[in-house]
Structure 1
Amino acid sequence: MHDDLHVLGRAVKQAQYRQHRAMDSALAAVGTTLAQWDALRAIDRSPGASARELAAATFQSEQAFGTLVGRLAAQGLVERRPGHGRRIRHHLTPEGERTLAAGHGVAGEGPPGCCAPRGPGAGGPLMVVLRRLNAQE
């Protein structure tokens, strides 16, 4: 069973890597990267969230997210506002909303080579296994 989990983990990682490369290429056409678009999605889902919260939502360190959001702010895609204490709240600008929407358009088209089948139940048994593994945290 232990070896099976390693094989499964590697297969999931390979699929993720392929999908990320395909998405990065597709998102370049709308002027963004997967990391940037993921940050925009996180901010859109949680407007006013702190860098710590957004870093966790995007699976990044706080330092890496801070660097990324600094670039997004310099590009006029994100606005940082003072919050309670030292907390900085993050919001999308209208340009950030346009970039996010353009990214959704690209993601919805499903770039060629972008891994798995889509639709209801597409994850099937794999999704059951992944949810079980992630519940063990």
Structure 2
Amino acid sequence: MSQEETVGELGQSVGYVLKQAQAALHSAMDVVLRPLELSVAQYACLELLGRSPGLSNSELARGAFVTRQSMNLVLRGLQDRGLLTRPEQAPHGRALPTQLTSTGQEKLHAASVAVRAVERQMFSPLSAEEQRRLCDDLAVCVAATPAAKSKSQ
């Protein structure tokens, strides 16, 4: 009879340390985004729209790792502040393609610079090659998860 393996020492668990890193990054991003009056989810939305204008609520929610309902609130708040526009009615289907305004682009630039500074600090103990390797290794791990595999099929 085989004995099932447990997580063991948390400090040696890749998943636990990865969650600590994610929490540390999120907290540090929150600190630098707060003076810009942005949450991490709002910043993620702006960043996604800056790279791919016209994304739908569902696409933005997936990209920002929030629910569609949460993204709807994020979008409404950003729209009320004049940072993005959405048409009143969908040009086709139900999706409302979203675009950054010039004010939204300026806010995105300031936020992106602030977040990049956080990333530089967090990853400063690693060389550029080690950072690339970490990113590549994590991408391989993500692709190996059952959720990622089911999305690619």
TM > 0.5: yes
Q: Which has the higher helix share?
A: 2
Return the offset for 1:2.
6.8
Distance 1:109-1:132 versus aligned 2 partners, 3 A rule:
closer
Q: Does 1:121 align with 2:129?
A: yes
Structure 1 or 2, whichever has the larger Rg, is: 2
Farther off after superposition, 90-99 or 20-29: 20-29
Uncovered stretches (5+) of structure 1, i.e. residues with no partner: none
Farther off after superposition, 102-111 or 44-53: 102-111
Farther off after superposition, 115-124 or 22-31: 115-124
Q: The residue matched to 2:109 in structure 1 has which SS?
A: helix
1: CA distance, partners of 2:127 / 2:98:
32
TM-score by length of 1: 0.84
- Equivalent positions of 1:1-137 (< 5 A) are 3=7, 7-81=13-87, 82-110=90-118, 115-117=122-124, 120-123=128-131, 126-136=134-144, 137=148
The answer as to whether partners of 1:55 and 1:61 remain within 8 angstroms in 2 is yes
1: CA distance, partners of 2:7 / 2:131:
22
2: CA distance, partners of 1:47 / 1:2:
45
1: CA distance, partners of 2:24 / 2:102:
31
The answer as to whether partners of 2:83 and 2:105 remain within 8 angstroms in 1 is yes
Q: Percent identity?
A: 28
Q: 1:41-73, CA deviations, whole angstroms, 9 ceiling, x for partnerless residues?
A: 011111111111111111111111111111111
The answer as to whether partners of 2:25 and 2:118 remain within 8 angstroms in 1 is no
The answer as to whether partners of 2:56 and 2:98 remain within 8 angstroms in 1 is yes
Letter in 2 for 1:21: S
2: CA distance, partners of 1:75 / 1:39:
14
Return the offset for 1:131.
2.2
The answer as to whether partners of 1:80 and 1:91 remain within 8 angstroms in 2 is yes
Report which structure shows greater RCO (CA 8 Å, sep ≥6): 1
TM-score by length of 2: 0.76
Return the offset for 1:10.
1.0
Uncovered stretches (5+) of structure 2, i.e. residues with no partner: 149-153
CA RMSD of aligned residues (A): 2.4
